[in-house]
Amino acid sequence: MAFLELVEVTKSYDGKKRAVENVSVAIESGEFFALVGPSGCGKSTILRLIAGLESLTSGYVLIDGQVANDWPPHTRQLSMVFQNYALYPHLTVEQNMRIVLQAQKVSKEEQMRRCMEAAEMLGITDVLQRKPRELSGGQRQRVALGRAIVARTPLCLMDEPLSNLDAKLRAKMRSELRRLQRQLGMTVIYVTHDQTEAMTMADRVMILHAGRPQQVGAPLDIYNSPDNTFVASFIGTPPMNLAEAHVLEHSLLLQNERPVRFMHRPLPKVERVTIGLRPEHIYRAELGEGHVTAKVVHIEWLGNETFVTFELTKHLHWTARWNGQWNIRLGELASFSFDERALLFFDEHGQRIGPPIRREEVRIDG
């Protein structure tokens, strides 16, 4: 039995527009589950529905197999970590962490023991007597996490908890938070708009768009086999290259201008498709020997890799991701090839055509 289950959960604030629509998912005990999508897609609303801070328009929230729709928040055995940390400014770090235990009527001795355990785990024992204003952003985040840890609730809801941190600290806290979650065995539902956080931290991910779930699965499965063009363009940096194409006998005509011949991949039995190809599946070839020759219109050198953007047609640019540093100039012609097995096809409604790609089927080394 799933620890937390959402069954056709829908939320409308005005009776017309739906902020969340028909969300169904089962989350196992001890799972790190991420909700990811652009701003306004319904991520935080789902979290508030689970917490009991909002009422459902329809559907069910089940906790440990029991319908929890009418349970008040304090009976749902959950803790929350917010984007703004929500620390009491007039209390010390220790008092901020213990306050939830006081509400639970835990003995003072047990409060101190749990507080010290969490502080040692998070590396904040030396700031226990400081006020939040005396702490750095990373320290405040650790205090907010500490408050969730000492509560020892089986379910922890996190609403973009790392978004206020700088990039270096955010990367460090990602790994630290994941380590703590595994160590404590907590079930975590993590809301973020940052796909990197979702990809690197979660056991499974739900991609949301306009309140509707687009795909649920393991991060790499979603990356390799997106169900639709929205997921394909949302997950990945740079995003998947997409292009509309007319299907010919052994080739595709991109944007009605650029023919691309296929030697080893059967094409869908439809008239028009959208094709998708990840930047890392585009490989440099000797001039004139690849699938395509095109003008280089943009280059980004990142030290360990290079992003090269080609102009396939006037209105179609594709980006390649090449390992290392490449001596290439703007405006020059360059050829590239690609692994035909890595190419995805989407129908006129943006849905993927064909079965998911298995990881071992795709060449990634160039």
Residue spans per domain, the chain: 4-224, 229-361
On the 0-12 / 13-18 / 19+ scale of CB atoms within 10 A, 47 is buried
CA 345, CA 140: separation in Å to the nearest integer? 46
**Is residue 1's pLDDT more than 50?**
no
- Listed in sequence order, the residues at least 6 apart from 132 whose beta carbon sits closer than 8 Å to its beta carbon are 85, 87, 88, 89, 91, 93, 96, 140, 143
CA 55, CA 48: separation in Å to the nearest integer? 9
Average pLDDT on 183-189 reads 92
Q: Are 247 and 272 in contact (CB under 8 A)?
A: yes
CA 97, CA 114: separation in Å to the nearest integer? 9
CA 326, CA 332: separation in Å to the nearest integer? 13
Average pLDDT on 60-74 reads 94
- pLDDT digits over 244-280, tens only? 999 988 888 888 778 888 777 788 888 899 999 999 9
- Listed in sequence order, the residues at least 6 apart from 237 whose beta carbon sits closer than 8 Å to its beta carbon are 195, 196
- pLDDT digits over 134-180, tens only? 998 888 988 988 898 898 889 999 999 888 778 888 888 888 889 88
Q: Are 190 and 83 in contact (CB under 8 A)?
A: no
Specify the pLDDT at position 167.
83
Q: b/e map of 109-138 (b: 16 or more CB within 10 Å)? A: eebeebbeebbebbebeebbeebbeebeeb
On the 0-12 / 13-18 / 19+ scale of CB atoms within 10 A, 145 is buried
CA atoms within 13 A of residue 191's CA, in its CB half-sphere: 22
Six token digits for residue 224: 């390799």
We find that the CATH architecture of domain 4-224 is: 3-Layer(aba) Sandwich (3.40)
We find that the CATH architecture of domain 229-361 is: Beta Barrel (2.40)
- pLDDT digits over 306-364, tens only? 999 999 888 899 999 999 998 889 999 988 888 888 889 999 999 999 877 665 555 55
Specify the pLDDT at position 361.
58
Specify the pLDDT at position 265.
77
- pLDDT digits over 198-237, tens only? 999 999 999 999 999 999 999 999 999 999 999 999 999 8
Other C-beta atoms lying within 10 Å of the C-beta of residue 150:
25
Q: Are 84 and 160 in contact (CB under 8 A)?
A: no
- Listed in sequence order, the residues at least 6 apart from 172 whose beta carbon sits closer than 8 Å to its beta carbon are 138
Specify the pLDDT at position 235.
93
Average pLDDT on 31-50 reads 95
Specify the pLDDT at position 62.
96
CA atoms within 13 A of residue 8's CA, in its CB half-sphere: 2
Q: Are 312 and 254 in contact (CB under 8 A)?
A: yes
Strand order across the 187-192 sheet: 78-81, 155-159, 187-192, 32-36, 204-209, 212-217
Average pLDDT on 83-108 reads 89
Q: Are 234 and 38 in contact (CB under 8 A)?
A: yes
Quote the percentage of the chain above a pLDDT of 90.
Answer: 60
pLDDT band per the 50, 70, 90 thresholds, residue 51: very high
Other C-beta atoms lying within 10 Å of the C-beta of residue 42:
24
Specify the pLDDT at position 351.
96
Specify the pLDDT at position 25.
97
Specify the pLDDT at position 362.
55
CA 41, CA 36: separation in Å to the nearest integer? 9
Specify the pLDDT at position 366.
46
CA 56, CA 165: separation in Å to the nearest integer? 32
**Is residue 365's pLDDT more than 80?**
no
Beta bridge partners of 276: 242, 344
